[in-house]
Amino acid sequence: MSNLFSGISLSQASQSSTNLSIASKLPPLPASPSLSQTIGMMGSPEEALNAYPLPRPLPVWLNPAYARHIVKGNFMTLSARPKTVDKGEWVAHQVVEHYRNLWNFVRVVFEKEEDGKTICNATSCPRMSAGMNHSYTWLNNRFEPIELPAFEYITLMQRWISGKIDDTKIFPTEASGVSFSYNSQITTTALLTGPDEWVGKRSGFPKDFFSICQTIFLQMFRVYAHLYWAHFTEPFYHLNLEKQLNSCFSHFVLTATALDLLKPQELEPMQPLIDLWAANGTFPPESKAYEYANLKAGTRLLQLGGMA
Contacts of residue 161, defined as CB under 8 A and 6 or more positions apart, other chains included, come to 99, 216, 219, 220
Site for another protein contains 104 (CB under 8 A): yes
Using the contact rule CB under 8 A, the part of the chain among 28-36, 95-103, 209-217, 264-272 near another protein is: 95-103
Using the contact rule CB under 8 A, the part of the chain among 26-34, 107-115, 213-221, 281-289 near another protein is: 107-115
Using the contact rule CB under 8 A, the part of the chain among 19-27, 89-97, 207-215, 221-229 near another protein is: 89-97
Beta-bridged to residue 145, according to DSSP, are 139
Least separation in angstroms between CB 230 and another protein: 14
Is-cis flag, bond preceding 53, omega within 30?
no
Site for another protein contains 250 (CB under 8 A): no
Site for another protein contains 179 (CB under 8 A): yes
Which CB, 22 or 78, lies closer to another protein? 78
Determine whether the annotation assigns residue 248 to a binding site.
Answer: no
- Residue 293 identity: A
25-54 residues in contact with another protein (CB under 8 A) are: 49-50
Using the contact rule CB under 8 A, the part of the chain among 96-104, 208-216, 281-289, 291-299 near another protein is: 96-104
Asked if 179 and 142 count as a contact pair (C-beta separation under 8 A), the reply is no
Which CB, 81 or 127, lies closer to another protein? 81
In order, the DSSP letters of 63-89 are: SGGGS--S--S-THHHHPPPTTS-HHH
Radius of gyration of the CA atoms of the chain, in A: 20
Site for another protein contains 63 (CB under 8 A): yes
- The DSSP code for 137 is E
203-232 residues in contact with another protein (CB under 8 A) are: 203
Of positions 18, 19, 101, 219, contacts another protein by CB under 8 A? 101
Determine whether the annotation assigns residue 226 to a binding site.
Answer: yes
Site for another protein contains 123 (CB under 8 A): no
Of positions 139, 237, 263, 295, contacts another protein by CB under 8 A? 237
Report the sign of the C-alpha dihedral through residues 53, 3, 268, 46, in that order.
negative
Least separation in angstroms between CB 134 and another protein: 19
In order, the DSSP letters of 188-250 are: -SPPP-STT--TTGGGT--TTHHHHHHHHHHHHHHHHHHHHHHHIIIIIITTT-HHHHHHHHH
153-172 residues in contact with another protein (CB under 8 A) are: 155, 158-159, 161-163, 165-166, 171-172
In whole angstroms, give the CA distance from residue 266 to residue 288.
14
- Alpha carbon separation from 88 to 91, 95, 170, 308 (Å, rounded): 5, 10, 11, 41
Which CB, 16 or 247, lies closer to another protein? 247
Which CB, 3 or 188, lies closer to another protein? 188
The Cα angle at residue 12 between residues 6 and 18, in degrees rounded to 5: 150
In whole angstroms, give the CA distance from residue 282 to residue 254.
10
Determine whether the annotation assigns residue 125 to a binding site.
Answer: yes
- Alpha carbon separation from 188 to 66, 92, 200 (Å, rounded): 51, 26, 18
Using the contact rule CB under 8 A, the part of the chain among 88-96, 220-228, 268-276, 285-293 near another protein is: 88-96
Determine whether the annotation assigns residue 231 to a binding site.
Answer: yes
Least separation in angstroms between CB 186 and another protein: 5
Of positions 26, 41, 178, 191, contacts another protein by CB under 8 A? 178
What residue numbers does the annotated binding site for Zn(2+) cover?
Answer: 120, 125, 226, 231
